[in-house]
Amino acid sequence: MSEPVDEPVIDLTRIGAVVLGTDGAVTDTARGHAAAWKHVLDAFLRGRSAPFDIREDYLRHVDGRPRLDGIRTFLAARGLTLPEGTPDDEPGAPTVHGLGLAKDRTFLAQVDEYGVAAFPSTVVLLHELRRRGARTAAVSASRHGRKLVHAAGVSHLFDVIVDGADAAELGLPGQPDPGQLLEAARRLELPPARVAVVDAALPGVEAAGKGAFGLVIGVVRESGRAGELRAHGAAIVVADLADVEVRGRVLPWTS
């Protein structure tokens, strides 16, 4: 876990690259994910349990996790169980895969209809980091993470993208396991100690701490969650990445 610091600063004399969690830190898609989850899970929960709560259930059990892991974690929190099923299940079938497929279909329909937007302050930060010689990566639990980055028009601002499809191909566990973040650092050709992680999701922040990354920045998109992000390992917590200052320049990669 990185130690808390007083100033929201990325010091490029000791940090050579920054890895950002896609949903909530790069693209404004977390609300779309949450809405899709609520649409699908409320239909399943009817007669079984209370409706899906976006603030509590999404943020605590689903946000930042691979889709199927999110379903398993949420169901366990409600004391519910379902058969796993298979990827060939009908979307919406009462199985883990069936609910996951329904969520995927609902979310992608939203993306196709409304598009994807990047946070303006994140775009400004990425330009500044790259101007000063830092490398950048985007990490997403979603198998569609790469598609979302491209749809938001910011793929050119990243040297590396590691999404859920990459994780599945490489057999990497979902967050809060640090596997995806460590894979991004490997592709950036830097040790984790020289890499900063920026994320709005608790599992992503926790994964960065477990991976011994040099700096962990949590982004608060919901009021009242700063303490949770710090408890999960964030050294810096900001409401917007416009609050983060970049200092110095990156030393040569061989240094």
Boundaries of every domain in the chain:
9-29+116-247, 30-114
Give the Cα separation of 12 and 253 in Å (integer): 12
Locate the DSSP E strands across the chain: 9-11, 17-21, 135-139, 160-162, 195-199, 215-219, 236-238, 245-247
Total Cβ atoms within 10 A of residue 161:
20
User: Tell me, what's the pLDDT at 221?
Assistant: 80
Could you tell me if 76 and 57 are in contact, meaning their C-beta atoms sit under 8 angstroms apart? Answer: no
User: Tell me, what's the pLDDT at 37?
Assistant: 95
Sequence-ordered list of residues with C-beta below 8 angstroms from that of 16, at least 6 positions apart, any chain: 134, 135, 188, 190, 194, 195, 250, 251, 253
- Name the architecture of domain 9-29+116-247: 3-Layer(aba) Sandwich (3.40)
Tokens of 245: 């200052």
User: Tell me, what's the pLDDT at 55?
Assistant: 82
Q: 3-class DSSP state for residue 147? A: helix
Give the Cα separation of 122 and 200 in Å (integer): 12
User: Tell me, what's the pLDDT at 105?
Assistant: 96
Give the Cα separation of 33 and 44 in Å (integer): 17
DSSP state of 47: T
User: Tell me, what's the pLDDT at 251?
Assistant: 75
Give the Cα separation of 97 and 80 in Å (integer): 15
Could you tell me if 232 and 206 are in contact, meaning their C-beta atoms sit under 8 angstroms apart? Answer: yes
Q: What is the pLDDT along the chain (255 residues), one digit of tens a residue?
A: 556 666 999 999 999 999 999 998 999 988 899 999 999 999 999 999 999 998 889 988 998 899 999 999 999 999 999 999 999 999 999 999 999 999 999 999 999 999 999 999 999 999 999 999 999 999 999 999 999 999 999 999 999 999 999 999 999 999 999 999 999 999 999 999 999 999 999 999 999 999 999 999 999 987 678 999 999 999 999 999 999 999 999 976 543
Using a cut of 0.85, tell me whether the model's pTM lies above it: yes
Nearest Cα neighbor of 166 from 151, 179, 148, 153 is: 179
